[in-house]
Structure 1
């Protein structure tokens, strides 16, 4: 800790006002924002000469009020922003992911409630996401030898430096830069809870209070986590088919049709858009729509997509076509958004590598074999699926939030050869740092309020309750709630979740 402390350094390089639109009306959303840009070390180790080799350009947005408030009169400058922040309650919102951008205007209701509680809210883009995707060989404030500082994109070689352990180093570096000795509070949603636990493990001195929504992370290894998650997803499939009983046969019909095309090397090609490669809608990729089962409010979208596909298959004379409208509907309802955030697939299983020396090794792909009655199709060759379908009756089970090897052959955003090679190398990589420090958490004194959901398909509430027991000194207040709340409840039931998190 002491040795690392000297490398936790960031410098504020620029500040500018930004505006966001309301997603529904496309009008100014009425909030006041400032964009802050920092230099953070890309690696927190140093070269033998003691100089950092690269500097991350880390972006964060500060939401500090509403249009018309007195604070609108504040003129922010690089010189006064630190003094202003040190007089305010600062809350850092840690978004879900991994590898997702942190949009400050994603949840206006939450923003309103937090402003009413007196917070200024910081929305940092984690390294490698959003507007934190570039680095430089020298800090922005220093000229290079030829007086040109050319930013470079964070590419595949940097994935080993994009986990929670380095994310929290960035956060703590920024806190020290902005606030000095003053602490701040955090609110972590989903993966933001993973980040919160890592922060509590290694840099608790920067935290005043921590709140976690649907993200009290499991301390188990990846395989044990997936054993739990597959069981939850199977239950959700059964619930879905109880509601939409006719979809049992519809899904079989669609999968049979897709599998036949796959077998004939004529897989459905999805619209390419701005991607370098067009994705393929194979039978396997189609059965990964089950990520949407995690929110019952989206089940109708699954049903509508199935109905559109069935209609196309039945009404096309050649039996060889899905309409552009149906393909667009599928892409719109594909909640993975991997083509927009390929790093999500690359880094997903890494967040379960909690011990030093652990590796993911395609854990979901492997554990699927232990649920062979439901997930026989995961490890099938595309040519085998048609034959297997003829042997098996009944329901076909959608998969949940599990990333498989075949994603890198079916999602256009993942088909880059170097990206695929890096993803497969990372699956074998032994992560050299543990994610959490059990000893530190057992003596934790930072107050933590966490809410987990009995009906969460993405984070097993049983494992969350086990995680709670890691905390000592009565520092963890964990509420397990039902009432129809699910993984995304901070967005869908914002008032309720905020009330729960601020109850004590």
Structure 2
């Protein structure tokens, strides 16, 4: 039963949908998918077109907006918005260390999680669309991994779409995970160099913290084991518009004097625990590389293997000299399943997913080449999370897609730029600019 309630300027309605775990076995096991409908308070009774938002990730629920924040302000001027918690995320049926043992052994858990890629998400959307709109097509707004889902939508069910808007999420149509990370490490290195150019004092601060971690076994208050590799992974912040500043403020007060000498402060440890823990989004770690799975080659911990091709990211070698420590970016590594208590029980499951060789192709290049759905995409220049060259190659492969290439924003441009970004992309899709 749907429940409606109000926030400033909007009416919200909770929806819960029952969908097949495996859409090819519609009479089999089901999972629940949650979505929050948002409509402007003065338009609540109107027959409005729908816009469904697909969050980035994988593994994150949709934004929990208050009122008309960010891009929602623009969307609500003409749409009824559906904020979808993709399967396994947010208020949908959870998939985490507490619930996955209900599936059985790690092999059963890995089989279950094989149904959590963009192909299943799009089929969920199609069931939901037909229930909510009576069969009318809707607009999709896909951020980051949500953009990957939007391209899958264009490949598999374009009849369900009136428009597709993509922000920072045009995937390569044919790259293996190895290709993705081989392109990623040089981008991350550029982001780190830009951070140190802005905050040169952080070079010594980062080296000092890394030295300390190499010499001490540090376990954070929540049980996370902070190794030097885990510390380096804080570089994921550098892909956001304010990430460099957040990293700087984190590093500047890392140490405190104690009777036993200098130690990492409680405040630093607490914030690092919050930033590194996967407790709230374990699916990100479990299926992240699987979103690139496309053929009979396993992903096989791609980010970890490809990192070895870039020895400048080796902290021990860096600290043996006098160079700056390099942070890393959006990547998942096997050691995370040893460091993070939210992931430790799922290590074997993750290994089985990394070894899997039966991933189905996600994109239909022929169908994309014949696309008739209006599509516009923001491509962020030197996006740390999604390779710009890969995105532009894909843009050329989707008939009629219009791009807005900009260095005004980082990967989180639709959040930071809000109304302006969505307005620009809608105008592009409608051929108004």
* TM-score, normalising length: structure 1: 0.78
Question: Of the candidates 70, 90, 93, which is equivalent to residue 109 of structure 1?
Answer: 70
- Asked if 1:125 corresponds to 2:49, the answer is no
8 Å CA contact 1:133, 1:154 repeated in 2: no
Structure 2 residue runs without a partner (length 5+): 96-100
Question: Of the candidates 230, 239, 244, which is equivalent to residue 299 of structure 1?
Answer: 244
Match of 2:17 in 1: 38
SS state of the match for residue 126, structure 2? Answer: helix
Question: Of the candidates 311, 324, 331, which is equivalent to residue 273 of structure 2?
Answer: 331
**Pairwise mapping of residues 51-450 of structure 1 onto structure 2 (< 5 A)?**
52-66=27-41, 69=42, 71=44, 74=45, 87-105=47-65, 108-116=69-77, 118-133=78-93, 156-157=109-110, 158-219=112-173, 220-261=175-216, 267-272=217-222, 278-309=223-254, 311-312=255-256, 315-319=257-261, 321-332=263-274, 334=275, 336-353=276-293, 355-372=294-311, 374-377=312-315, 385=316, 388=317, 391-416=320-345, 419-450=346-377
Match of 2:98 in 1: none
**Pairwise mapping of residues 453-492 of structure 1 onto structure 2 (< 5 A)?**
453-472=380-399, 475-482=400-407, 484-492=408-416
Cα separation, 1, equivalents of 2:43 and 2:80: 14
Q: Deviations over 1:43-89 (max 9, x none)?
A: 1123xxxx7221111111111222xx263xx5xxxxxxxxx8xx421
- Asked if 1:498 corresponds to 2:422, the answer is yes
Cα separation, 2, equivalents of 1:435 and 1:128: 19
Structure 1 residue runs without a partner (length 5+): 1-13, 20-27, 75-83, 136-151, 262-266, 273-277, 378-384
Change (3 A) 1:175 1:420: same
Larger Rg: 1
Cα separation, 1, equivalents of 2:227 and 2:198: 26
* TM-score, normalising length: structure 2: 0.91
Cα separation, 2, equivalents of 1:37 and 1:304: 40
Cα separation, 2, equivalents of 1:495 and 1:179: 25
8 Å CA contact 1:461, 1:480 repeated in 2: no
Change (3 A) 1:296 1:178: closer
Number of paired residues?
416
Change (3 A) 1:227 1:304: same
Match of 1:381 in 2: none
Change (3 A) 1:43 1:413: same
1:350 to partner: Cα distance: 1.1
1:435 to partner: Cα distance: 1.1
8 Å CA contact 1:357, 1:433 repeated in 2: no
8 Å CA contact 1:295, 1:487 repeated in 2: yes
**Which structure exhibits the higher relative contact order, with contacts defined as CA atoms closer than 8 Å and separated by 6 or more residues?**
2
Between 404-413 and 175-184, report the one with greater CA deviation: 175-184
1:320 to partner: Cα distance: 6.5
Cα separation, 2, equivalents of 1:423 and 1:347: 8
SS state of the match for residue 23, structure 2? Answer: coil
8 Å CA contact 1:37, 1:58 repeated in 2: yes
